[in-house]
Structure formats: C-alpha cells, structure tokens
A and B are shown apart, each in its own frame.
Chain A
Amino acid sequence: MTTLQTTTSAPAGRIENPSLWSRLKFNRNFMAFWFMLPAGAFLILFLAYPLGLGVWMSFTDERIGRAGMFVGLENYEWLWDDAIFWLSVFNTILYTVVASTIKFAIGLYLALLLNRNMPFKALIRSIVLIPFIVPTVLSAIAFWWIYDSQFSIISWSLTKLGLISHNIDFLGDPNWARASVIFANIWRGVPFVAITLLAGLQTVSPSLYEAATLDGATNWQRFRYITYPLLTPIIAVVMTFSVLFTFTDFQLIWALTRGGPVNATHLMATLSYQRGILSGRLGEGAAISTAMIPFLVAAIGISWFGMQRRKWQQGSSND
C-alpha cells in the first residue's frame, strides 16, 4: 500500500532513472555472466589453457627442463618427413575406422536385441555394461594375458582343438597386434554404443511400429523406414563420441603394446607421449597432438552437419 502511494506521488523523473547498480541487478545478461563464471573459469583453466599451451608449444623447441624458443613450423616440417609419424597417422585412422564401424554394427545389433521383451532383461542389460565399467588398464592386463605369446588361452584352445600347431604371437606380429588391439577396443567400446542406442530406441513409440505393421511393413522395412531414421540423431551423437574416444585412445595401446611391435600399433596419442614425455621433446610431442585436431574437427563437423539436415526434429516453424 505504501509502495503504491510513493509511486503515484513521486516525480516521474526519479523512477525512470534508477542507479546503474540497481539496473544491473535486474539485467539478465549481467546476472547470467556471474552464474556462468565458475563453469567458464573451470573450462578455461583445465581445457582451453592446456589446449592453447599445447598448440603454442608445438611451435617451439621446448624440452623437459628447458624453456623453448619459437621455431615456427619446424616441428611440423620434421614430422612431414617422419615415416613413423605417418605410420602412426595410418594406424590411428585404421584403428578408428575399423573399431568404430564394428562397434556401431555390434552395438546397434545388441541394442535392437535388448529392446525386445525377453526374460531377465534387466540382468542381461547389466551384463552388457560390464566391459564399460571395468577400468581400462585392468581389462588391458586381462587382454595382455589372453594375447600372451606363451600362455594365451586362445592359442591354447586352438592347439587343443588341433587347428594350429604352434602359438600365435598376438602382440609380436604387426598385423596380429593391430587386430588384437582393435579387438580389445571393440570389446570395451560396444557397451557404450549399445546402451546409448538402446536408450534412443526406447524413445520410439511402440505405436509407430504397430502403425507400420498395419501399413504392411516387414521387420526389415520397420527398421529401414522407422527405427533407423528416428535413431539417426542419437547415432550421430554416439558415433561422434565413439570416434573421438577411439581416435584419441591411449591407455589400451600403452598397456598392451606400447606402440610395438616396430611401431605397428603406435597411434598418434601414444607417439606423442613417447616423443614428448619419454624422450623429453615437448615441442615435437605437442606438434603430434596438435596434428590430431583437424581430424577431430572433421569428425565433429560431419556429425554436426549431418544432424542439421533433419528438419522434422526442429520446432513448428511454418516454412
């Protein structure tokens, strides 16, 4: 009541010109800035700064224990002529393409399977998640034993079955080593793809399948015309993540092969670690890491523009 009286009796000029502070207090953008500051500071400190520092370092000849000088593109020129670097690029692309494709195929198949009604559904879904839950290094050690040149259970089984006469050197032969690390990566990565796609599948209304059944769709047509198009947004997100994780993989390779034999399984991440940290040439290591950025940006770009095209998801603009 008092407020009302004050407002009516006060001169109009005073109400229209409140102090800067009181205007700021109610400014949404000003407040939003302060609310975003903690998260922003965190991201800048732990993501943007190291990234920037890494890129900067790739233009210097910094070594462990010695500050670097700006050397321009010299590190990149070295890498351009470095066969091992190009081998690691090839390995990384091979590793990413093969592992991601197979992870997608198996993950989608598992998701479709798990989306059905079956006994012990919850239990089976939890079991599928196990490879994802086990720490990478632990599972890598398990695989190390499985792939061991003398004690490999696979070699042992195949020998007992009479299929091979001597042990396979899984991690000693370049191609076997590549196949082995790819298999281990697939084993670890499938649950992520499967469970995420399963979540996507569950958002598809069952009545759409019923409508499609009545429209005369076969199982395959239901997948082709209903499931797949409705799942594409989530496929794009999952596969982007899957590709990024696979492309930047380090732990599994390091625990299994350390890039060997003869660099056959060296990925860009492991090579960068070896050059930058173990050999101490920080500048060169940073350059290898920085060289990964274009590939990652391309992967994100593909999924981003892939998602942009889906008009049916967007709001109700009447275009």
Chain B
Amino acid sequence: MYRRSDRVFWRECMSSVHIRDVRKSFGGFEVLHGVTIPIEDGAFVVLVGPSGCGKSTLLRMLAGLENITSGTISIGDRVVNNVQPKERDIAMVFQNYALYPHMTVADNMGFSLKLRGANPADIKKGVARAAEILALTPLLDRYPRQLSGGQRQRVAMGRAIVRNPQVFLFDEPLSNLDAKLRVAMRTEIKELHQRLKTTTVYVTHDQIEAMTMADKIVVMHDGIVEQIGSPLELYDRPENQFVASFIGSPAMNFLKGKVKVNGSASFEAPNGVNLPLATAPANSDGRPAVYGVRPEHFTIADDGAEAEIVVVEPTGSETQVFANLAGEQVVAVFRERHQFAPGDKVRLKPNPSVVHLFDEATGKRI
C-alpha cells in the first residue's frame, strides 16, 4: 500500500524521550508518584492502564499541556519542562480528534504550517503528501462535519503527519470508533509507524490495543508504573498481580492458598484442592501465596483438580468454559471442541511450567 520512496520525504529526524521521576499534583493531590520511562528513538510505546491511572495526564505533560510538578521530561537531548508546547516539536492526536470545524480537511492539516509561516505552495505540497499516505486526497475540500468517524480519525493523524514532528502522541485515538473500524485503524496506525518510524507514545485503556501495537508497553496503575516491557514479556512474566490481571483476555485466574514443599512442590488451594507447581522458591513451605493461571493453560487430565462447569461460551475458534474450582470461579479456554454442559464435572489441570505465583500480601511475583 505505501511506497518506500515516500520515506525519503520525511525528515530522518526522530528522537528518544526520557521521562525521569516525574510527579504531578493537582492542588495538594498527587496523581503521578514518580514515573520513569525511557523511550528509545523510533519506538512505539503504549501507556496502558485503567481510567484514572494518570496515563493521559502523563501524555499531556509530554505535550506541554500540563505543568510538570517535579522530575524531568526530555525529548532528544533537550529537557522540555519549561519549553512551550509549540517549541517541543511534537504532534498529538486527540480522543475527540479536535478537528477545527470551520476549516476544510486541507486547512485543518495545513494549519500548523500556516502558523509557522510556510508559503502556500509548500503547505499545499505537505498536505497533499500526507493526504496521499492516508488516502484522504478526495476529501481535502470537505468539512469535518461531512466525514465519517474513521475519516475524521485519519484527518487528525494527517494533521500530525504534516508537521513531521519528532514525536507522535496519541490520546486514546480509537475509543470513539466502532469495533470493526477500531481494528482496521489499529493496523493502519501500526503500518504508518513502521513506515515513518517516528517515536510514538500512545495512550489507551484497551490492553488488546496495547498488545497488538506496541514495541514496548508501560502498564500504569494509580499513578505509578507497574511494569515496562515488550507485549510478550508482560504476558509471560508479569511482575505483579495487577499486570497479570490487566494483560490478557480473558483475564488470568487467581487462586489463594499455600505453597507446599514436600519432596516436590505443589500449591494447596482451599477445599483441599492440590495444584501442580514446577518449582518453589527456597524455604517457602507453608507460605501464603496467590496462584495465577491463564485460561489457555488449563488442560483436561485425569490427575487434574475437579471442577464444576457453570457456563460454556463457544466463540468458534475456541471455547470459554467458566467453572468452579476450589470455591472460585475460573475460566478456561480450549481450542478443542469438548462437549461440555453446565453441571458437568471436569478435571482441570494447569500447566505447571507456565503458572505464576504471587506474594499474597504485596502481589509481587515470587
């Protein structure tokens, strides 16, 4: 779809971003408690977390729309704490697109160049180039009102691209689109990044968006960074119970109980249910802990723990089975087509090599 030569047009100037021990208070209320995130040149970093975790605030601080209470943010080699937004060389795509309703698509996209005092021919050229990349050329004379949601979204991205900034910021750009379009735009944004290779910081509350698009995910919660890593790192080795529960859908199952080391390691869940463990940390016999197992890591086996099926939800490619195990409701996902009915008793066995163990008090990975 995109031609390789287009790449040459765009300035080969990208930047790393460093967020160091950044704090933010509104009044006396601290919403960000010392956040440090290194972002490499050309990376696609997704800040993800539940609403109110401070991810949007952090993005706005990066853009210069909010003051930084303490700590530093640098773009390239320059600390930008006291740099005006327009001097930061960043472009932002807003959740509601923030298109200027009284300007045509072309004027919306060319506005920043116009303010910079570029001559009309250059503005036209820059707009045409961005419009071509985003397939907006036939829409250049329309007003935002006359566009569909997806088209508006693309104009918002076009406005960012035209500026050829050092960093792209996206603030939940897909949340106003319907499900199908969201998936399509996800791919489009990722493809765009692969082509332009501009450092991108993307905020979302949707872990699937984060998993599918990011080079690096930053999971935030209550104003702190819970974990930073590649999508699969977070999936395979969550640092704590929050990350474990937040990443992955359906979410990871948790069972409270005790570690038992008796020759071999195992985990004792309530109701006398015994679950397998590959290894246990030293001196952990009897330690209270939380046992985490992803839905797809259950198998049906004769030596599994007995569970009673509550609900069966086939999705075609796989089947989600909700069952009562050791007094907790767990969900298991099978790609095989088992014939289950509610009320059936099955023997579920977690794969011990991929189960997770968390400290009961701190939620940290053991």
Chain A residues close to B by CB (< 8 Å)? 205, 207-208, 210-217, 221, 225-226, 229-230, 310-318
- Judge whether B94 and A312 touch: CB under 8 Å: no
- Judge whether A215 and B86 touch: CB under 8 Å: yes
Given contacts A214-B92, A221-B115, A316-B145, contact A310 B102 (CB under 8 A): yes
- Judge whether B90 and A216 touch: CB under 8 Å: no
How many A-B Cβ pairs are below 8 Å? 69
| Residue from A221, A225, A229, A317 with most neighbouring chain B CB atoms (10 Å) | A225
In the assembled complex, B69 has its CB within 8 A of some CB on chain A:
no
Expressed in whole angstroms, the minimum distance between the Cβ of A271 and any Cβ of chain B is 43
- Judge whether B146 and A211 touch: CB under 8 Å: no
In the bound complex, how far is the Cα of B163 from the Cα of A212, in angstroms? 13
Q: In the complex, what residue of chain A is closest to B101 when comparing beta carbons? A: A312
| Residue from B103, B116, B145, B159 with most neighbouring chain A CB atoms (10 Å) | B145
- Judge whether A213 and B98 touch: CB under 8 Å: no
Contacts of A217 in B (CB 8 A): 86, 115
In the bound complex, how far is the Cα of B101 from the Cα of A310, in angstroms? 11
- Judge whether B85 and A213 touch: CB under 8 Å: yes
- Sorting the interface of chain B by its residue count into under 10, 10 to 19, 20 to 34 or 35 or more gives 20 to 34
B5-27 contacts to A (CB < 8 Å): none
Contacts of B163 in A (CB 8 A): 215
A-B contact pairs, 15 of them (CB 8 A): A205-B98, A211-B98, A211-B159, A213-B65, A213-B86, A214-B92, A216-B115, A216-B116, A217-B86, A225-B100, A230-B101, A312-B143, A313-B101, A315-B145, A318-B142
- Judge whether B145 and A214 touch: CB under 8 Å: no
Q: In the complex, what residue of chain A is closest to B96 when comparing beta carbons? A: A207
Expressed in whole angstroms, the minimum distance between the Cβ of B277 and any Cβ of chain A is 51
- Judge whether B102 and A230 touch: CB under 8 Å: yes
In the assembled complex, B112 has its CB within 8 A of some CB on chain A:
yes
| A-side interface mostly | helix
Contacts of B91 in A (CB 8 A): 214
- Judge whether B92 and A211 touch: CB under 8 Å: yes
Contacts of B101 in A (CB 8 A): 230, 312-313
In the bound complex, how far is the Cα of B312 from the Cα of A42, in angstroms? 67
Contacts of A310 in B (CB 8 A): 102
Expressed in whole angstroms, the minimum distance between the Cβ of B71 and any Cβ of chain A is 21
In the bound complex, how far is the Cα of B98 from the Cα of A205, in angstroms? 8
In the assembled complex, B247 has its CB within 8 A of some CB on chain A:
no
In the assembled complex, B246 has its CB within 8 A of some CB on chain A:
no
In the bound complex, how far is the Cα of B114 from the Cα of A221, in angstroms? 11
Given contacts A310-B102, A316-B145, contact A216 B86 (CB under 8 A): yes
Contacts of A313 in B (CB 8 A): 101, 145
A-B pairs, 6 with minimum CB distance: A216-B86, A215-B112, A211-B98, A207-B98, A312-B143, A229-B102
Expressed in whole angstroms, the minimum distance between the Cβ of A213 and any Cβ of chain B is 5
- Judge whether A210 and B112 touch: CB under 8 Å: no
Contacts of A207 in B (CB 8 A): 94, 96, 98
